[in-house]
Amino acid sequence: MKVCVIGSGYVGLVAGACFAEYGNQVICVDKDAKKIEDLKNGIIPIYEPGLSELVQNNWKEKRLEFSTSLKEGVEKSDLIFIAVGTPTSSDGSADLSAVFAVAEEIGKSINGYKVIVDKSTVPVGTAAKVKEFIGKHTKYEYDVVSNPEFLKEGAAIDDFMRPERVVIGADNDRAGDLVAQLYAPFVLNGNPILRMGTVSAELTKYACNAFLATKISFANEIANLCESVGADYEDVRKGMGTDSRIGRQFLYAGIGYGGSCFPKDVRALIRTSEQFGKPLRIIQEVEAVNEDQKVRLYEKIETFFGKGGVKGKKFAVWGLAFKPGTDDMREAPSIPLLLKLYSEGAKIQAFDPVAKETSEYYFKGKIEYSEDAYSALKGADALLLLTEWREFREPDFPRMKQLLKQSIIFDGRNQYRPGLLKKEGFQYFSIGKQPIE
């Protein structure tokens, strides 16, 4: 099939490359001329395992092309995916200006029947509005479908190629059947294609992310209670997670969720509920708990060093990205924590395997970067573990002790066993456990 994907960011580039991998003719469109030129030269603008190889292979096989011309992409294609950003507006709602601008350009470029697919995460009613914007500029037949993505950063290729389900929101069979045909090779394992209306599809995406965010905030609340009552959250987590009704995923305590999806989508769902007069009180608290959790580690640091005691101290940092497997710094919990330490006069030397370049935008020279994990430790008063990269899981503790000025670890991701840290002579502070002092 002939497919156009408008927006060559995280969602659009993954979708375009995966569609091309299954033999479709795909054109990825982006208004950023430098990005398009880089893609043509094999330079991928984001870090995602397996994506670079997938893009380059399909580019060489001429199944995948890149262009700045939306008109060219629309005219060449039967299916047009909108995958542009929908950032948070000042009032918490999703900013749909880019989506509607693209819709108008699509309307001006249509040269025959087309199916336009909302791949961006958008609030309820967006498909109908996109249809209106397109209709102002064309007399050709077209349909608008909602097809939300359910990708995990760090595992996006596998998620797209072997989806647990494909959600297609279409208000007629003609459009829905065409999109289902495109996805048929991706669900040969028997996983379902779920057909529904556009509004239901739009809400499904938000409901999924809000529920997962709820599990994380619930886990963090219980972990904080564990610290007060003397329980070990890791034991509690295992007790909960082995209940099949609850499940093991998204029960890990830490310093809060971040990234491009959960914070933005939770806020947008709250805003939608308020607009319809049905406020979601649980989801409001999920967001509030998460904001509190982002300062939890700072509170532990301040308690240990004393108020004003971080001034002049040097902190080593392992991990900056909001999660392992990605260079995405959007709403990463590391940002407010490290900026707070900097504002209090602390010095920071950080290492992240892939997020150095993306983090520079947020820290603007306020932190120093190390070439590897161990060099970040040299002369530091404490180590802060903020992202659970695999390479941090089994470090050389005796070597760490030699490099650190003080043998202190603040673990925001519960990566280490307190008993082992005690044996190695460390002071250890984590989430949901009693400290080792």
Query: Is 121 marked as a binding-site residue?
Result: yes
What is the rounded average pLDDT of the residues 141-146?
A: 98
- Whole-number pLDDT of residue 69: 98
The answer to whether residue 10 is domain-embedded is yes
Q: Which of 291, 307, 324 is the C-terminal boundary of a domain?
A: 291
Same domain, residue pair 173 and 218? no
Residue range of the domain that includes 270: 205-291
User: What type of residue is 194?
Assistant: L
- 252: Cβ contacts below 8 Å, ≥ 6 apart: 216, 219, 237, 413, 414
Same domain, residue pair 73 and 221? no
Burial class (CB in 10 A: 0-12, 13-18, 19+), 307: exposed
Query: Is 330 marked as a binding-site residue?
Result: yes
Count CB neighbours of 407 within 10 A. 17
What is the rounded average pLDDT of the residues 256-271?
A: 96
Same domain, residue pair 256 and 222? yes
Residue 422 — very low, low, confident or very high, per pLDDT cuts 50/70/90? very high
| Domain CATH number, residue 358 | 3.40.50.720
Task: Tally the residues of the chain.
Answer: 437
The answer to whether 380 and 395 are in contact (CB under 8 A) is: no
Assess whether 4 carries a catalytic annotation. Answer: no
Helix axes 126-135, 198-229, angle to 10 degrees: 140
Same domain, residue pair 106 and 223? no
pLDDT more than 70, % of the chain: 100
The answer to whether 279 and 290 are in contact (CB under 8 A) is: no
Please pick, among 4, 28, 226, 261, the residue that the annotation labels catalytic.
Answer: 261
Query: Is 422 marked as a binding-site residue?
Result: no
Q: What is the number of domains present in the chain? A: 3
Same domain, residue pair 115 and 168? yes
Query: Is 258 marked as a binding-site residue?
Result: yes
- Whole-number pLDDT of residue 268: 95
Same domain, residue pair 53 and 140? yes
- Whole-number pLDDT of residue 11: 96
Same domain, residue pair 351 and 280? no
Same domain, residue pair 398 and 281? no
| Domain CATH number, residue 226 | 1.10.1040.10
- Whole-number pLDDT of residue 28: 98
373-382, pLDDT tens digit by residue? Answer: 999 999 999 9
Same domain, residue pair 254 and 400? no
59-103, pLDDT tens digit by residue? Answer: 999 999 999 999 999 999 999 999 999 998 988 899 999 999 999
Same domain, residue pair 277 and 305? no
Q: Which of 243, 271, 291 is the C-terminal boundary of a domain?
A: 291
* Alpha carbon distance 304, 147 (integer Å): 49
The answer to whether residue 436 is domain-embedded is no
The answer to whether residue 276 is domain-embedded is yes
Same domain, residue pair 165 and 50? yes
- Whole-number pLDDT of residue 424: 96
Query: Is 264 marked as a binding-site residue?
Result: yes
- Whole-number pLDDT of residue 138: 96
Same domain, residue pair 170 and 63? yes
Q: Which of 169, 196, 223 is the C-terminal boundary of a domain?
A: 196
10-32, pLDDT tens digit by residue? Answer: 999 999 999 999 999 999 999 99
299-331, pLDDT tens digit by residue? Answer: 999 999 999 999 999 999 999 999 999 999 999
Query: Is 35 marked as a binding-site residue?
Result: yes
The answer to whether residue 435 is domain-embedded is no
